[in-house]
Amino acid sequence: MKNNHIKLYPLKVLLAFVFVFCLLGTELLLSVKHIALNPATFETVTETQQLDEKAYTTLESYFRSRANSTGIPAEVFLNPITKEQLRQGTLDSVSDALAYLKHTSDSYEFRMDFKELETSITEFFENYAEENHFQKDEIYQQKITSTIAEAEKEILFIADTFKFSTIHENGWLEKARHYIPALDRFIMIALGLTILTGVLLILICLKNIREFLYWFGISGMTSGILLTAPCEYLKAIDYISGFIIKDPQIFAAVVGYLNTMLNHELLQGILTIAAGLLLLILFAVLSKKIKN
C-alpha cells in the first residue's frame, strides 16, 4: 500500500498543480463577469469617489470660463443641470455600454434629458433679443440651435465619466463586444477543469479520505497566495494611484474602479487561503485522532 502511495504521489502533485491554476482562472474569469462588468461596481465607484461632485465642478469651471467670450451667464447652463442628473447620466452611460457589450442591446447611444436646459437657453436668447431689439430671424434661430448643441455635447462628455462614448467612437467597444460571449465559455471550461481535477484527486485518495483534505487545502492556499501576493504588492507600492491622468474627474473614476477591482481580488484571495487553511486544519485534526 505504501508503494502504491509513492507511485501515485507524482500524479497527485500534477493534479494539484493543475487544480491550482484552474481554480485561479475560474476565480479571475468570474470576477470579470460579475464584478468588472457589473453596473453595481461602477455605481459604487461613482458614490465613493463622488464623481457627480467632480463632474459638476468641471462643468461649472467650463461654463464660467466661457461666459466672458460668449456673453452667456454660466447660470443659464448650470441652473437646469443638477448633480443628481450628472450622477444618473454617468450610470446610464455605464448601463447602456454594458448592455451593448453583453448583447442585450444592439447599439450604444448615450443620451440625457435636456428639456430644461433647452428652455433655459431659449428663454435667455428671447429675453436678450427683446431687450436689445434684435430680429428673430434665421441667424437668431441658428445661434440658439448651435448653443444648445454645444452645451449638450459638453455636458454629455463630462457626465460620461468612464468615457464609454469615447471608447465607442474609437471602435474599441465594438471590438470588445465580439469577445464578451466567449467569456461564459471560458468560465465553463475553467470551472469544468477545476471540477474534473478535483474529482480525480478525490478518486485517487479514496483509500485515504482525509488525504484529499490535504491536497485541496494545499491547492487552495497556493491559489489564494498567487492571487493575493500581486494584489498586496500593488497596494503596498500604491501603483494605481501613480497613474498620470490630468483630469481629476477621470483620474478618480479610473483609480477608483481599479482599486475596487484590486480590493475584490485581494479579498477573494484571502478567502481562498482561509478555505485552504481550514481544510489543512481538518486534515491535521483527523490525522491526530487516527494516530491516537
Name the residue ranges covered by the structural domains of the chain. Answer: 2-37+182-285, 53-101+111-159
Indicate the pTM of the whole model: 0.88
Q: How confident is the model at residue 8 (pLDDT cuts 50, 70, 90)?
A: confident
147/144 Cα distance (integer angstroms): 5
Say which DSSP state 29 is in: H
| Residue showing cell 481538518 | 282
| pLDDT tens figures, 71-125 | 899 999 999 999 999 999 999 999 999 999 999 999 998 999 999 999 999 999 9
Mean pLDDT within 32-41: 95
Helix (H, G, I), strand (E, B) or coil at 274: helix
Which residues 6+ apart lie within 8 Å of 49 measured at CB?
Answer: 252, 253, 256
| pLDDT tens figures, 189-219 | 999 999 999 999 988 887 777 888 899 999 9
Which sign, positive or negative, has the C-alpha torsion 87, 92, 97, 98?
positive
Position 205, amino acid: C
Which residues 6+ apart lie within 8 Å of 56 measured at CB?
Answer: 81, 83, 86
| Residue showing cell 466661457 | 66
Residue 278 burial by Cβ neighbours in a 10 Å radius (0-12, 13-18, 19+): middle
Query: Other C-beta atoms within 10 Å of 45: how many?
Result: 24
How large a percentage of the chain has pLDDT more than 70?
97
Cβ distance 31 to 187 under 8 Å? no
- The residue among 125, 129, 109 whose CA lies nearest residue 117 is 125
List helix spans (H) across the chain.
2-31, 39-48, 51-70, 74-78, 83-101, 115-132, 138-159, 164-169, 172-204, 209-236, 248-291
Angle of helix 138-159 relative to helix 51-70, nearest 10 degrees, comes to 150
Q: What is the pLDDT of residue 231?
A: 95
Taking all residues of the chain, what is their mean pLDDT, rounded to a whole number?
91
Q: Is the pLDDT of residue 1 over 50?
A: no
Cβ distance 136 to 92 under 8 Å? no
- From residue 215, alpha-carbon distances to 14, 26, 48, 140, 209 in Å are 11, 18, 41, 78, 11
